[in-house]
Amino acid sequence: MSKIRYKSRRFFRFLLFFDFSEKKKILAKKSQMSSIVCHPIIKNGIATDARIKKQRPPPLVVARPRDLIQEACERLVLSDQQLRRIMVLMEKSMEQGLSGKKAAVKMLPTYVDAVPNGTEPISTIFFQKGDFLALDLGGTNFRVLHIKLEGKETKMTGKIFRVPESIMRGTGEALFDHIADCMAKFMEENNLKDATKLPLGFTFSFPCEQDGLTRGKLVTWTKGFKASGVEGADVVTLLRDACHRRKDIDIDVVALLNDTVGTLMACAFQENTCQIGVIVGTGTNACYMERLDRIPKLAGYVDEHNVTPEEMIINTEWGAFGDDGALSFLRTKWDDAVDRESINPGQHLYEKMISGMYMGECARVVLEDLAKQGLLFGGHSDAISTPHCFPTKFVSEIDSDLLEDDDRTFQKTYQILEDIGVEMITANDCANVAYVCSLISTRAAHLTAAGIAMLLNRINKKHVTVGVDGSVYRFHPTYPTLLDAKIAELIVGDIEYKLMLSEDGSGRGAALVAAVATRLKEEKLAAATASSER
């Protein structure tokens, strides 16, 4: 089995915002609001909305009315007790996965059995010259990267290509032809077309059952992909076949990896205590360094040197946690609605409560329901009823309205609601929409925190760095803080951890793994030649 080994000498051996908890809501009385649009829509001190210029809104008043919205949304607030229960259930599911029994959390071996320990300078890792390619497929964008190693120097260039929905959901052949086509264009533009057997690291961010570093069968599509004929097939073979079909590019796939693994590896190069890689982007997932003696399904495993490694990175595929019903105790009717309308109902339920592909839609179905109950938008639900009209970036923008210190003006919230086509927006509506968004994003952060805290407790080392990447972690204004604070509450003992933003794990990480895999391959070849000459 091929795999990668780092020797140490074994190197590759808010609710900040709005004090709803005190039920001190800023509410404008409906009667006062009927003639106005919304409290200040002010840009640079100038009112930008003509209606507002004409009619100064009455001051917002603090009231303690019956809080119907808060009551309706109660189930979106998770207690620490519920989060601890999640931790227990998730670990149980992981143990099932590690034992090889049928399990929601698959716990897929990656055949990367050590992370950099930091004692070697990067130059020794890249102690070779050469060109490497990295492919990164995991969402609506597909990236091709070229990394050039010249001794200590590394240069990286890349290009992003879109994956149209028709390709995501067409045939597998068309998808891999598209990938090969983008790759060929990139190679042409970067004068790499004539290169032979260019080593390539393929970050394929979907669950893959690997039996070596360069082979992996897709278990199931996630994140809106549904290309036919790929589930159950080896994606490296599909990529090679697509390259052979066009005949004008010559590549050598030396590593297949998940984006969480790239994230862990890229962070580990900077911080040798990195043991966990997490993605919270379009989808969510985590990988971590597990002891071989705790992976019963790999009992008896030896590598090509006949050695049983002490550890291996396990791709948890935690997005599927709850697919066996383990999350039923806290899922809501809104989660059910999001799941029902998704392309893969019943699958990746934890992911659907957390990640960027679903967060906006989840907020939207809550808002639609509240509007239907007459609690928002004067009972008008039409505008908010269009599926996917409320992407996750709206949740981020609205949540950032809550970061304003004193008088919250909810400018962005108002603007977003108006753009969607909601009529009769009151100040109350803006505040309540922001409240719902903050509940959804806080719940996502707390659910992720439960997963990370469980892994930290399981690893139980004194200092652990967690490499994190993904659009939700990067761009949501309060998610990282909420995540961090909750992990701190959920870990036990005297574990110290830190979250580290990974700089382009799926691209850089793949190129790094490709470089090392190539070096190991060359070393092996040299050793074989030497022994045959003896």
Residues carrying an active site annotation: 223, 259
Q: Which is nearer to ligand BGC, 277 or 477 (CB)?
A: 277
- Residue 143, judged by CB atoms within 10 A of its CB (0-12, 13-18, 19+), counts as buried
Q: Are 353 and 320 in contact (CB under 8 A)?
A: no
Binding flag, residue 281, ligand BGC (CB under 6 A):
yes
Cβ neighbourhood burial of 53 (10 Å; 0-12, 13-18, 19+): exposed
Kindly tell me which residue out of 110, 222, 332, 518 binds ligand BGC, with binding defined by CB under 6 A.
222
Measured CA to CA in angstroms, residue 284 lies from 181, 205, 223, 317 at distances of: 28, 10, 10, 8
Q: Point out which residues pair with 141 in neighbouring strands.
A: 162
Amino acid residing at 191: N
Stretch that binds ligand BGC, among 87-95, 115-123, 255-263, 366-374 (CB under 6 A): 255-263
Count the residues of the shown chain that bind ligand BGC, applying the rule CB under 6 A.
17
Question: Token pair of 214, please?
Answer: 């360069």
Q: How crowded is the C-beta side of 242, counted as CA atoms within 13 Å?
A: 22
For residue 22, the 8-state DSSP code is G
Q: Is residue 323 close enough to count as binding ligand BGC by CB under 6 A?
A: no
Q: DSSP letters of 350-381?
A: HHHTTSHHHHHHHHHHHHHHHHHTTSSGGG--
Check if the beta carbon of residue 375 is closer than 8 Å to that of residue 366: no
505 is a site residue for ligand BGC (CB under 6 A): no
Which 347-376 positions form the footprint of ligand BGC (CB under 6 A)? 351
CA dist., res. 72 & res. 75, Å (int): 8
Q: What is the footprint of ligand BGC within residues 293-322 (CB under 6 A)?
A: 317, 319
Read off the tokens for 157. Answer: 């260039």
Q: Least distance from C-beta 372 to ligand BGC, angstroms?
A: 31
Stretch in the footprint of ligand BGC (CB under 6 A) among 253-261, 288-296, 395-403, 404-412:
253-261
Q: Cβ 370 to ligand BGC, closest distance in Å?
A: 29
Entry field: residues in the chain: 534
Q: Which is nearer to ligand BGC, 266 or 371 (CB)?
A: 266
User: Is residue 392 part of the contact set for ligand BGC (CB under 6 A)?
Assistant: no
- Closest to ligand BGC by CB, 258 or 411: 258
C-alpha to C-alpha distance for 505 and 507, rounded to whole angstroms: 5
If the CB atoms of residues 208 and 456 are measured against ligand BGC, the closer one turns out to be: 208
Residue 279 makes contact with ligand BGC by CB under 6 A: yes
Task: Compare residues 260 and 438 and give the one whose CB is closer to ligand BGC.
Answer: 260
207 binds ligand BGC per the rule CB under 6 A: yes
DSSP 126: T
Evaluate whether 107 touches 97 at the Cβ level (below 8 Å): yes
Interacting positions 44-83 with ligand BGC (CB under 6 A):
none
Please pick, from the candidates 259, 311, 339, 469, the single residue that binds ligand BGC as defined by CB under 6 A.
259
The answer to whether 263 contacts ligand BGC (rule: CB under 6 A) is no
CA 24 → CA 21, 53, 63, 66, 409, distances in Å?
Answer: 8, 28, 7, 11, 17
User: Minimal distance in Å, beta carbon 279 to ligand BGC?
Assistant: 4
Q: Is 283 in the site for ligand BGC (CB under 6 A)?
A: yes
Question: Measured from the CB atom, is 355 or 413 closer to ligand BGC?
Answer: 355
Given the complex with ligand BGC, which of 206 and 414 has the nearer CB atom? 206
> Would you say 421 and 381 are in contact if contact means Cβ atoms under 8 Å apart?
no
Among residues 285 and 426, whose Cβ is nearest to ligand BGC?
Answer: 285
Region binding ligand BGC by CB under 6 A among candidate stretches 25-33, 72-80, 166-174, 280-288: 280-288
Q: Is 260 in the site for ligand BGC (CB under 6 A)?
A: yes
Quote the least distance from Cβ 194 to ligand BGC, whole Å.
33
Per CB under 6 A, which region of 76-84, 203-211, 321-329, 337-345 contacts ligand BGC? 203-211
Contact between 285 and ligand BGC per CB under 6 A? yes
- Rounded Cα distance, 449 and 454, in Å: 8
**Which residues neighbour 188 within 8 Å (Cβ) at sequence distance 6 or greater?**
none
CB of 300 to ligand BGC, least distance (A): 27
Q: Which stretch binds ligand BGC (CB under 6 A): 34-42, 99-107, 281-289, 408-416?
A: 281-289
Residue 192 or 353: which CB sits closer to ligand BGC?
353
Query: Considering only CA atoms, which of 364, 400, 280 is closest in space to residue 16?
Result: 400
Of 97-156, which residues contact ligand BGC (CB under 6 A)? Answer: 138
324 CB-contact burial (10 Å; exposed 0-12 / middle 13-18 / buried 19+): middle
Nearer Cβ to ligand BGC, position 206 or 334? Answer: 206
Check residue 267 and report its DSSP letter.
H
End-to-end CA distance of the chain: 25
Out of 203, 205, 396, 471, the only residue in the binding site for ligand BGC (CB under 6 A) is 205
With contacts defined by CB under 6 A, name the span among 126-134, 277-285, 359-367, 398-406 that binds ligand BGC: 277-285
Whole-angstrom Cα distance, residue 388 to residue 210?
Answer: 34
Q: Does 339 bind ligand BGC (CB under 6 A)?
A: no
Cβ-proximal residue to ligand BGC, closest one: 283
The residue ranges that bind ligand BGC (CB under 6 A) are 138, 205-207, 222-223, 258-260, 279, 281, 283-285, 317, 319, 351
